[in-house]
Amino acid sequence: MTLAHFARLLGVSPKWVLNTMRALDLPPQYTPALARRLSIARAVHDGVGMPLPAAFAMARDALAAWDGERLPVTMMGTSTDDVALTVDVYRLLSAMNVRLADLRESFAPKVRGRPPRARRDPLEAAMAWGLDLSLLRDNLRKSPHARLRQLDAMRAFASAVRRTAAPTRVPDV
């Protein structure tokens, strides 16, 4: 997955992805698992104002606690306060899966060079140009032995025609 694919999957700019990967000290490997975790971390960061490293750690815990159901995951705060954060993991991952489907169907990164020309069947091109391919097809249906017999017969016919039609030479005077 490229940076452009990854950024489109998260719904952010590529610059945001690069800055976030640098801030979280992550290697530049763009995987769907990392995209799921960053999607949840971004929602927590934007919604609550939690610092991104803490939101990234909480996203790991939320994904681990999520059982695949539609129910939201409630995360308890780390302090002694009575604070809980409810994360709708199913909704966030559903939105990301919609972007992933859109990415697979419609988004193609730019490719260097000229686009490849469509290859045309040479036999169809010959027929379109006006060549009759019926004799070629008939000969290819025959066995190799039958084709050799036909070739020998044509050679014998050609030598017989040459012998009978040999011009008589007039002596030079």
The domain segmentation of the chain, as residue ranges, is: 3-106, 122-164
Query: pTM for this structure?
Result: 0.56
Q: List the beta bridge partners of residue 85.
A: 75
Condensed to tens digits (0 to 9), the pLDDT of residues 80-95 reads 566 777 778 788 888 8
Q: How confident is the model at residue 56 (pLDDT cuts 50, 70, 90)?
A: confident
Q: Note every long-range contact of 19-24, with CB atoms under 8 Å and residues 24 or more positions apart, other chains counting.
A: 20/52, 23/52, 23/53, 24/52, 24/53, 24/56
DSSP symbol at 74: E
What is d(CA 46, CA 51) in angstroms, rounded to the nearest whole number? 9
